[in-house]
Amino acid sequence: MARNDLVVRGREDSEAATRRAANTVDYVRPWLAAPALIPAGYLTHWLWGDLGLGTGLAAAAITAAGGVVTYATHRLTNSRTWYAHHIATAMTGGSAAWLALATAFGPGRPLMDALIIGGSAAAAIANVHQWARSQGSAEAARTKGAGRILPTFEEVAAKLRIKDIKAKLTADTEMQQRHTLTLENGETAESLQNRGKELASAYGVAPGAIRVIEDQSRADRAELVITKKDVMGKLIPWEGLNPDHVGASIADHPLHLGVYEDGEPFTNEITNRHSLTVGMAGAGKSVYGKVKMVQVAARCDTFTLAVDLAKGRQTLGPIEGAIGWPAYTKKDARLLLEALKRAIKARANHLADQGHSQWVPGCGLSFLYLLVEEAAEVVDFDEIVEVARVARSVGIQLELSLQRATWGNLDTDTRANLGDGLCFGVRDHADASFVLPDYVTEAGCDPSRWRKSKPGAFFAAIEHTDPDRHTVAVKAFGPPSTNPAEENKVLKAAADSLPAQDGKLDPVTRAAFGEAYARFLEGRTGGAAPLVETASTDEHQEDEIVTADHDQEHDEMDPIVLTVPDDNPDVVGDLDTEIPPLEEGQDFALPVRKKGTKASAEKARAAMDSLVEEWGPGRTFKAFDLKAELREMGVERSKSWLYGQLSRLEGDGRLHHEDDGSWTVLETRQLVDA
């Protein structure tokens, strides 16, 4: 009895592969098997029933042939379901045995009685099985709107020879299928996680569509999540501010920032925690940051701040109506962060006076939200480390957004204080491991599969949600269309509709901000932030002491002439002048490099250029190695300056940034792969 409820389709229409619903023929077919044996029994008995020894030989031959067919059925159905394997084998063997007996003794009673009873029972079992598969069961439930129907876990386990694991289907929607797994005989979730690609192949889904999630309370439990329909590549436009949330407290409603891949809304409560957002350029993290900024600014008890030293006003300029205090230069960023440090202490004292251990609505303080775009430019600021360490409990959320959160880009002390982690598409799996917890990446969550092909797709390990939701992909709200000209259309309208943020700043924080914030307000015209000359300013100002001088391009520098006192001004030499050998007892000493001294901006850059030239083509080094060498040469500079100069040399074609974070010196004529 063959199963025909699985439709096998080609690759082009595999997305539409479904199980055919049972019809009348499917229910009638099992009842025809037993009646078909009756004429076969009469025929074999008529041919060989009265041959004496020949009758026994004929019955033995039928038995042997039936045994071969039964064994073949057993082997061929070994990878099928329990019903297909055991019931089909039993019915084949039973039919062969009945036919052999009918040949020898005739198909009359009691063999006819046994055939009617046994055949009816087998047909009834087949009908019940057919009905269960069409209606749904614990192993394979089919619900309205379930979309594509996948093989059962039992079928997949048989194909892959997975043992000691039982699965119960708990949800089957158009987007996902979820199973609760029971692990027996010492089986672990990790062993199933390591077979993710095999499971994806057996289920016929994308390589990254399988996730096996450990139960944090029991080692013999796990959850299998199969994504049937990938919605991460689809754009979900942000519809604008929710009127019910505008003017409400930040504690009244969580921020609605996107949709989980299973259709549930993604929300986030940002009080009492900091956040780290990582994603490569083009992965959608900037749009996510702007949607979040506007929603925070719409609340009645918030004040927003922002820092972007890399792109200036390019990213945040369109939503400046939602930003209370932006900073786009290193000087302004330091002033903002120093003011925030003063505010932390003042706010902590105020909360103590009010009897609060942390910020709560109605405590007399505005909730502050600070977004730092391209945070790699400021992570070496001592102020940012201190803000991350002590600001959380006084009603300040710090969100750092950067492309890679490697050890070289983010201080470990700062990382330890960032509770929430959001990872958009990244270059490789190692980048995701710096942001997401191990239990998320080990479950099969790999944002490097997206890179920047699916903007707005990310995984979110945030305190606001249960840990089992950390392994579900999220699609962030995006612009109205894929047209870059419309990216800020809805965002700008929403930001411009909000009242001035300054009106919501509490007196305690305003006093702590002091003269720096007062000067910023004086420079504002028409409610917009003051324009900052960024086009002619080097993103990576080299002096650690803040100055207003702009950094000039390398090719505009005047030539540097290094001079030392000449002990013998009367001696004039050229290339042809013979150098006399030293007399016995004479010697000379090489100059010793001075450590810890400051060099001018031009000398620092010249020292770096000369060092790279001295190393020569093919030399591979880390940023730490370069900084150590420069320190030996008397050049002390910040991490942001160092990475800025590395980027400059890369742009000039003199260096190439490798995937492992190292740098390789190139020949001047050598081309770098785009």
Q: Tell me which H or E stretch contains 307.
A: strand 302-308
Q: Which helix (H) or strand (E) holds 423?
A: strand 420-423
One domain for residues 169 and 130: no
Average the pLDDT over 220-226 and give the result: 89
Q: Which residue has the tokens 């040469």?
A: 633
* Angstrom distances, CA of residue 223 to CA of 183, 193, 462: 10, 11, 20
Q: What is the pLDDT of residue 668?
A: 60
Q: Give me the residue label for tokens 């400051």.
A: 598
Closest CA to 73 of 57, 61, 55, 91: 91
Neighbouring-strand partners of residue 276? 400, 421
Instruction: Find how far residue 254's CA is from the centre of its chain.
Output: 22
Per-residue pLDDT for 518 more than 60?
yes
* pLDDT tens digits, one per residue of 43-88: 888 888 888 888 888 889 988 998 898 888 888 876 566 666 777 8
Same domain, 87 and 207: no
**117 burial level (CB within 10 Å; 0-12, 13-18, 19+):** exposed
Please determine, for residue 7, whether its predicted confidence score (pLDDT) is greater than 50.
no
Report the CATH number that the domain containing residue 166 is assigned in CATH. 3.30.980.40
Q: How far is CA 657 from CA 375, 501, 622, 623, in A?
A: 19, 41, 10, 11
Neighbours of 145 (CB within 10 A): 8
Do both 422 and 508 map to the same domain? yes
Instruction: Note whether 642 and 380 are within 8 A (CB).
Output: no
Show the tokens assigned to 219: 């080692």
- Which residues have CB under 8 Å from 619's CB, separation 6+? 664, 665
The pTM (predicted TM-score) of the whole model is 0.57
- Amino acid type, 509: T
Please report which residue ranges of 243-370 form alpha helices under DSSP H. Answer: 285-297, 313-316, 330-354
Q: Which residue has the higher pLDDT, 489 or 391?
A: 489
Report the SS3 class of residue 116: helix
- If asked whether residues 90 and 175 sit together in one domain, one would say no
Task: Choose the most confident range, by mean pLDDT, from 122-131, 252-261, 378-387, 650-659.
Answer: 252-261
In whole angstroms, what is the distance from residue 239 CA to residue 491 CA? 9
Using a 10 angstrom Cβ sphere, with 0-12 exposed, 13-18 middle and 19 or more buried, the burial of residue 160 is middle
Mean pLDDT of the chain: 79
Residue 674 within a domain: yes
Whether the predicted pLDDT of 352 surpasses 70? yes
The verdict on 469 and 607 lying in the same domain is: no
Looking at the structure, tell me whether residues 39 and 177 fall in a common domain. no
* Mean pLDDT for the stretch of residues 166-175: 84
| 641 shares a domain with 512 | no
- If one counts the domains in the chain, the total is 4
Q: In the beta sheet, which residues pair with residue 370?
A: 305, 398
Is pLDDT of 557 > 60?
no
Tell me, what's the pLDDT at 599? 53
pLDDT tops 90 at residue 495: yes
> What does the alpha-carbon distance between residue 295 and residue 310 come to, in Å, rounded to a whole number?
24
- Residue 35 belongs to a domain: yes
R_g over Cα of the chain: 37
Say if 573 falls within a structural domain.
Answer: no
The residue range of the domain holding 221 is 153-227
Between 202 and 556, residue with greater pLDDT: 202
Q: Which two tokens stand for residue 196?
A: 């993710």
Q: How confident is the model at residue 618 (pLDDT cuts 50, 70, 90)?
A: confident
Percentage above 90 pLDDT, the chain: 21
Write out the two tokens for 286.
């900037």
Instruction: Give the range among 133-147, 426-440, 441-455, 549-563 with minimum mean pLDDT.
Output: 549-563
Q: Is 381 within a domain? A: yes
Q: How far apart, in whole angstroms, are the C-alpha atoms of residue 213 and residue 199?
A: 14
Q: What is the pLDDT of residue 9?
A: 35
The distance in angstroms from the start CA to the end CA of the chain is 60
The answer on 493 and 442 residing in a single domain is: yes
Nearest to 248 by CA among 196, 301, 200, 198: 301
In this structure, are 106 and 207 located in the same domain?
Answer: no
Does the bond joining 110 to the residue before it have cis omega, within 30 degrees of 0?
yes
Question: Tokens at residue 448, please?
Answer: 């490097």
Q: What is the pLDDT of residue 605?
A: 86
Q: Are residues 288 and 336 in the same domain?
A: yes
Answer whether residue 120 shows pLDDT above 50: yes
Q: What is the signed CA dihedral for 117, 123, 129, 135, rounded to 10 degrees?
A: -120
Sign of CA dihedral 539, 543, 546, 547: negative
- Would you call 371 helix, strand, or coil by DSSP? strand
Q: Which amino acid is at 555?
A: D
Residues 126 and 171 in one domain: no
Can you state the percent helix, strand and coil of the chain, rounding each to 5?
40, 15, 45
Which residue's entry shows tokens 């043992």? 163
Q: Which of 209, 227, 245 is the endpoint of a domain?
A: 227
Q: Write phi, then psi, for 338 (nearest 5 degrees).
A: -65, -40
- Examine the fold and report which residue of 523, 544, 578 is the final residue of a domain before the chain moves on: 523
Instruction: Please list, in sequence order, all residues whose beta carbon lies within 8 angstroms of the beta carbon of residue 560, skipping any fewer than 6 positions away.
Output: 602, 603, 606
Reported as a pLDDT band with limits 50, 70 and 90, residue 287 is very high
Q: Is residue 649 in a domain?
A: yes
Residue whose C-alpha is closest to residue 329's, from 609, 547, 635, 132: 547
Which pLDDT score is estimated for 543? 38
The reply to whether 607 falls in a domain is yes
Supply the CATH number for residue 438's domain.
3.40.50.300
Query: Which of the pair, 127 or 136, is modelled with greater confidence?
Result: 127
Position 552 in a domain = no
Same domain for 19 and 115, yes or no, is yes
